[in-house]
Amino acid sequence: MDKAFAPVVRHSSKTNSSGQTFPPSSLNPSSLNSALFNSTSFSVTTSRKAAARAALVELNESSCNLLSECFRQFGIETIVMSGQAAERLHKEKFEACVLHLRSDPGRSEVAPLMEAARMSPSNSRCVIYGVGGNAQEAMRYSKYGINAMFQEPLERPAAMKLVRATQNLVLHEFRRYVRIPVMTEVSVVGEGVRFSASSIEMSSGGMSVKSPEDVSKGTNVEVAFSLLTLPRIAVRGTVTWRKPKSFGVRFDPADERRQKVKVWIDSYLEN
């Protein structure tokens, strides 16, 4: 990204003579509705030192202000990037990055930015958040393993819920994080049905899938997908729950192929 590293804006806290840390004053956000996370209450601590860094790449000022406030609530420092982002994502260490999926005039193509992060020795497992676009557009970048999506227009309640739901992964607090949010294309076949969908979350025991297709609870299926460094595999499973636009699949314990998913998740968390 940036050979002469463009100026960055660091949202830092102030410390008084007693060593107490006080966060900067709140910034005015807009409003959003997250489709993935339903919890509306959260308890946060704003006084701890930033334990991780999130790059906000080529976002407008209002989006940067809103997302900086959300990340700061969980002790995550934000770095605003405007130029030479690909080089910086490859060379500098970030625990997360936020990228807009639409290539508007004046904004870099997003694929090279994602590739720079995923090919970086330091950032290959960083949490990638997409902004804008629908699920179909997000699937264009599924090989880069987008972890979560902020919908536009950005709204503070939904943005805060999404950050809250994924903050343990950003902060490497894995003992409390058993599912990996990741968006990738999924092929579903079973009992007279065959369709394409997208993943929401992945665990060693199963996955949640986003799709409007009518699949009944108890249906036996085979799901096929790829995950970053994991080549495409197929695993048998059973639909264990169903919502209007999503369903859950529990992997068949007798299917040895699910061990490859477990190995990938263990590697992802250890990196």
Question: Which alpha helices (H) appear in 23-144, and where do they start and end?
Answer: 61-72, 85-91, 110-118, 135-139
Can you list the positions of beta strands (E) in the chain? 9-10, 14-15, 21-22, 52-57, 76-81, 96-100, 127-131, 148-150, 180-181, 185-190, 193-203, 206-210, 220-227, 230-243, 246-251
Work out the average pLDDT over 85-90.
95
pLDDT of residue 137: 75
pLDDT (mean) for 178-205? 92
Inform me whether the pLDDT recorded for 5 exceeds 50: no
For residue 175, name the pLDDT band (cuts at 50, 70, 90). Answer: low
Kindly report the pTM of this predicted structure. Answer: 0.69
Query: Which CATH architecture is the domain 9-176 placed in?
Result: 3-Layer(aba) Sandwich (3.40)
Do 52 and 170 meet the contact criterion of CB atoms below 8 Å apart?
yes
**115: confidence class by pLDDT, cuts 50, 70, 90:** very high
* Interval 166-178 mean pLDDT: 76
> Pairing mode, if any, of strands 96-100 and 193-203?
unpaired
Alpha helices in 96-230 (DSSP H): 110-118, 135-139, 156-170
Cα–Cα distances in angstroms (integers) from residue 39 to residues 5, 67, 172, 246, 247, in the given order:
39, 18, 21, 17, 18
Q: In the chain, list all ranges with CATH 2.40.10.220.
A: 180-270
pLDDT value of residue 108: 76
Mean pLDDT in the chain?
Answer: 81
More confident residue, 113 or 108: 113
The predicted pLDDT at position 8 comes to 38
- pLDDT above 70 (res 217): yes
Which residues in the chain are classed under CATH 3.40.50.2300?
Answer: 9-176
User: In this predicted structure, what is the pLDDT of residue 155?
Assistant: 95
| pLDDT higher than threshold 70 for residue 49 | no
In CATH terms, the fold of domain 180-270 is Thrombin, subunit H (2.40.10)
Whether residue 113 contacts residue 85, with contact meaning beta carbons closer than 8 Å, is answered with yes
Q: How confident is the model at residue 1 (pLDDT cuts 50, 70, 90)?
A: very low
For residue 208, list its beta bridge partners.
201, 248
Q: Which is more confidently placed, 87 or 32?
A: 87
Q: With pLDDT > 70 as the criterion, what percentage of the chain qualifies?
A: 77
For residue 240, pLDDT beyond 60: yes
Residue-level pLDDT at 103 = 67
